[in-house]
Amino acid sequence: MKDQLSVGERLATGNPGEDIFAFAAEIYPICRSITGNGVRKTLRAIGMHIDLKIHEVPTGTEVFDWTIPREWNIRDAYIKNERGEKILDFAHSNLHVMSYSLPVRKRISLAELKQHVYTLPDQPDRIPYRTSYYAENWAFCMPHRLFEGLRDETYEVVIDSTLEDGYLTYGEYLHQGESEDEFLLSAHVCHPSLANDNCSGVALLTHLAKRMAGLQTRYTYRFLFAPGTIGAITWLARNEDRCQRIKHGLVVSMVGDGGGPTYKKSRRGHSEIDRAVVHAMHHSGLAPTILEFSPYGYDERQYCSPGFNLPVGLFQRSKFGEIPEYHTSGDNLEFIAPDHLSQSYGLIAETIDIVENNEVYCNTMPKCEPQLGRRGLYGPVGGDKGAAAANMAMLWILNLSDGMHSLLDIAERGNLPFSVIRDTARQLYRSGLLRPVFAANQNR
Ligand code: ZN
């Protein structure tokens, strides 16, 4: 029946999970922080797939109430016991050193070492992920089991790091659509070797951007790969004048595990992006958790601060903080899977499809029902599996297309998948029973 695939359908063809997983695995080993060469290396890897523009913002730059910190880099770190044996080695896991640890090289007692160690007593085999960006300190992170076995002796501790004036680095990719109105897709790139949080989100958005290139879209899509919190704040401070173009937005993090899906609404709560994601999730066959906005989480905290109040929600699988793997070495490549990444990608593609196609129409024959059979409109769908849904969709669309209801309004009201409403509306349009009114996103 259809002349062409919709944007969402084009984005969703094939099985993207393997590709997304492979790229997540490629960037997983890199030691990232909120600044430094790990972020640059990650952005360069993304830049192999899309034409990423990389921005460097100098230390000391003021961004609203914040200041770009000094740049942190690390080459090596270890703890050696009295026999010269390395009992902990940064080369084995970059989680072993608290991010932004000051350089240190000295011999210390067990008692002093204990002042500088983080563990997870309730998950004794896992290494915790810890940071100290704005309080100068140093620390090691280790499995609690290792910590408990430490003997009372002198240890050599080495953190070969630098904390110096430098830059904060972020990357941006713009897919130009027909409209200057934008859809923002944002992923944080500041965590070291944590697969779900957020190699998964970075890889998913890279794949999406790559697939989108060459497609004609209604909206312009801005992909932002920036360190959490300070990166989003920096982008907002440097792009304040553009923010009003953002009509929809998603923060994408932790999208490779099998939980959820979870969506946290924007501060506005009922913007088109909120409704589109909720609709896509409810018709996905999964068991979604939909959360109202709260000022805690990822970079939606900045996008939804009252001075911006952008329609940006948070898309995740398991809710952050509610799984034992969260911010531990348990968040590794075994914790994410191509199938889950595919599913997450499909939900985001479906969401994009909804906002791309959320038109408003007018029924050209609003006085009583038009005779559908005479126009062959019941016929073509008669043998389809989805015939009943398509017939119901037709009746809903004809009834609610009064210039006041968008296709998403109709899909919600009729409790039908948006794709069925979209395809049926096209069919009715071709039959002359609908005429377009205006793009549904205008001031909605
Ligand atoms: Zn995190």
Query: Tokens standing for 8?
Result: 């969402």
pLDDT at 376 (0 to 100): 85
Query: How far does the centroid of ligand 1 lie from the alpha carbon of residue 160, in Å?
Result: 24
Query: How far does the centroid of ligand 1 lie from the alpha carbon of residue 144, in Å?
Result: 21
Query: How far does the centroid of ligand 1 lie from the alpha carbon of residue 321, in Å?
Result: 8
CA distance 144 to 128: 10
What is the DSSP code (8-state) at residue 3? S
Query: How far does the centroid of ligand 1 lie from the alpha carbon of residue 404, in Å?
Result: 42
CB of 76 within 8 A of CB of 158? yes
Query: How far does the centroid of ligand 1 lie from the alpha carbon of residue 253, in Å?
Result: 8
Considering the domain 71-164, what is its CATH architecture? 3-Layer(bba) Sandwich (3.50)
Query: How far does the centroid of ligand 1 lie from the alpha carbon of residue 318, in Å?
Result: 12
Ranges of the chain whose pLDDT falls below 50: 1-2, 440-444
Query: How far does the centroid of ligand 1 lie from the alpha carbon of residue 7, in Å?
Result: 31
Query: How far does the centroid of ligand 1 lie from the alpha carbon of residue 95, in Å?
Result: 13
Query: How far does the centroid of ligand 1 lie from the alpha carbon of residue 354, in Å?
Result: 29
Query: How far does the centroid of ligand 1 lie from the alpha carbon of residue 31, in Å?
Result: 14
Q: Write out pLDDT tens, residues 330-339.
A: 999 999 999 9
CA distance 171 to 226: 6
pLDDT at 387 (0 to 100): 77
Q: Which helix (H) or strand (E) holds 205?
A: helix 201-212
Query: How far does the centroid of ligand 1 lie from the alpha carbon of residue 61, in Å?
Result: 25
Query: How far does the centroid of ligand 1 lie from the alpha carbon of residue 91, in Å?
Result: 21
Query: How far does the centroid of ligand 1 lie from the alpha carbon of residue 298, in Å?
Result: 8
**pTM score, two decimals?**
0.95
CB of 265 within 8 A of CB of 292? yes
CATH 1.10.10.10 domain position(s) in the chain:
359-439
Tell me the C-alpha to C-alpha distance, in Å, between residue 311 and each of 67, 109, 244, 284, 443: 26, 53, 10, 22, 12
pLDDT at 390 (0 to 100): 83
Q: 429: Cβ–Cβ under 8 A, 6 or more apart, which residues?
A: 361, 435, 436
Query: How far does the centroid of ligand 1 lie from the alpha carbon of residue 294, in Å?
Result: 16
pLDDT at 1 (0 to 100): 39
Q: Which residues pair with 105 in a beta bridge?
A: 158
Q: 298: Cβ–Cβ under 8 A, 6 or more apart, which residues?
A: 188, 228, 251, 253, 314, 320
Find the angle CA(206)-CA(238)-CA(190) to the nearest 5 degrees: 45
Give 321-345 as a DSSP string: TSSTTTTBTTSSTTT--HHHHHHHH
pLDDT at 383 (0 to 100): 58
Query: How far does the centroid of ligand 1 lie from the alpha carbon of residue 286, in Å?
Result: 24
Query: How far does the centroid of ligand 1 lie from the alpha carbon of residue 111, in Å?
Result: 30
Query: How far does the centroid of ligand 1 lie from the alpha carbon of residue 301, in Å?
Result: 14
Residue 38: phi and psi, rounded to 5, are -65, -40
Query: How far does the centroid of ligand 1 lie from the alpha carbon of residue 220, in Å?
Result: 28
How many other CB atoms sit within 10 Å of the CB of residue 153?
Answer: 11
Cα torsion angle, 351, 226, 228, 144, sign: positive
Query: How far does the centroid of ligand 1 lie from the alpha carbon of residue 138, in Å?
Result: 20
Query: How far does the centroid of ligand 1 lie from the alpha carbon of residue 398, in Å?
Result: 47
CB of 138 within 8 A of CB of 74? no
Query: How far does the centroid of ligand 1 lie from the alpha carbon of residue 363, in Å?
Result: 49
Q: Which residues hold their Cβ within 5 A of ligand 1, which is an ion?
A: 197
Query: How far does the centroid of ligand 1 lie from the alpha carbon of residue 230, in Å?
Result: 14
Query: How far does the centroid of ligand 1 lie from the alpha carbon of residue 323, in Å?
Result: 12
Give the homologous superfamily in CATH for domain 7-68+167-356: Zn peptidases (3.40.630.10)
CATH 3.40.630.10 domain position(s) in the chain:
7-68+167-356
| 359-439 is a CATH 1.10.10.10 domain | yes
